[in-house]
Amino acid sequence: MDLREAEKLLFGAWDRVFARHQQLGFDGLSKPEQVFAVIWMLEAELNNGGFSQYMFNSSGDEAALATPALREVGAAAAAEVCEHFYALLPGGAPARTQDERQAQLDSAAATRGEDEFEEECQRLEQRFYALEDDLRTRLVGYLRANGVL
């Protein structure tokens, strides 16, 4: 399968999963749908504004589930990138609320220096972007194996 076909399948799956998410909430989704939603929101936010945007927006509410979700689909390298980012944060893990995550970002930037923190985030984002084709292929396989596609 080529990347264009994978993206078409994933965008179609997202439309269906997002509609269910809107209707039932995150907890109302099946486990495979939750795994997909967590990864899809992570990837979308990273592509749109990086780790800082992901942490600041409501998509980050499920950030603690990102590394297990990535491992669930076999994307260990992408999970490690997220773990490296989380290690930069006070407490080494993303907080649950937006306000707490914003405080973590502010603290990490103050501790490391804003420029150094931003440069490290950009390095990690570049590593994640380099893994996206593999991630999408793995997501399609996972969704097919679990009856979502």
Radius of gyration of the chain (CA): 15
- Mean pLDDT across the stretch 98-105? 96
What pLDDT does 130 receive? 97
Spans of all domains in the chain:
3-145
pLDDT band at 131 (very low <50, low <70, confident <90, very high): very high
Inter-residue contact 148 to 20 (CB < 8 Å): no
What pLDDT does 46 receive? 96
pLDDT in tens, 5-49: 999 999 999 999 999 999 999 999 999 999 999 999 999 999 999
Nearest to 58 by CA among 90, 11, 26: 26
What pLDDT does 125 receive? 98
pLDDT in tens, 88-97: 999 999 999 9
Domain 3-145 sits in CATH at 1.20.1420
Q: What is the pTM of this model?
A: 0.94
Nearest to 36 by CA among 2, 9, 54: 9
